[in-house]
């Protein structure tokens, strides 16, 4: 996703260099464990996309919330402009889990006054039923978007990244 977002920004003559500090399969606990180390690189802003693997593992909502909160405390203390990207939880853990998990992102966005892209897969999901679009826009595992799926996400996420860039400029 990072390379496609970089292309999207380059096409708009946006002088920004994105760095992928993500780890495949990472959970919010992994992000929490790495946040201080990650920020040693001296970034001007950060995009946080964590929680999907927490969902796949059915990790306790409170634990995921606490981990994301801890990450955002570090970014706030560093005065690092932040874009948080949320997830839609599946219903297989029950409606309470789904509602609680999805609320994490809005709550933290409000608490830390940061930009929120509510749900990473919304740009794909709004194209049809989950079963229809997953076959077209996802890899064979039906969990990870393929190149075309990422393209759909990047086109809608891009304006939020531009907003983050504007916040970075204003904070200087």
Q: Which domains does the chain have, with CATH numbers?
A: 26-171 (3.40.50.1110)
Share of the chain above pLDDT 90, in %: 85
CB contact at 8 A, 84 and 72 = yes
Please report the beta strands in the chain, taking only residues with DSSP state E, as ranges in sequence order: 46-49, 82-85, 115-117
- In percent, how much of the chain has pLDDT > 70? 100
pLDDT(129) > 90: no
Q: Cβ neighbours of residue 100 under 8 Å, at least 6 residues apart?
A: 61
pTM of this structure: 0.95
């Amino acid at each position: 996703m990072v390379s496609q977002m970089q292309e999207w920004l380059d096409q708009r003559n946006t002088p920004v260099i994105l760095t992928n500090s993500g780890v495949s399969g990472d959970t919010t606990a992994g992000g929490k464990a790495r946040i201080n180390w990650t920020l040693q690189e001296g970034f001007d802003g950060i995009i946080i996309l964590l929680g999907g693997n927490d969902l796949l593992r059915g990790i306790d909502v409170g634990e995921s919330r606490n981990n994301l909160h801890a990450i955002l405390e570090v970014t706030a203390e560093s005065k690092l402009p932040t874009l948080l990207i949320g997830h839609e939880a599946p219903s297989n853990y029950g409606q309470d889990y789904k509602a609680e998990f999805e609320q994490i992102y809005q709550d933290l966005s409000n608490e830390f006054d940061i930009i929120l892209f509510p749900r990473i897969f919304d740009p794909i999901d709004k194209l049809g039923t989950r079963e229809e679009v997953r076959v077209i826009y996802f890899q064979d595992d039906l969990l990870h978007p393929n190149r075309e799926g990422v393209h759909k996400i990047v086109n809608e996420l891009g304006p939020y990244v531009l907003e983050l860039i504007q916040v970075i400029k204003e904070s200087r």
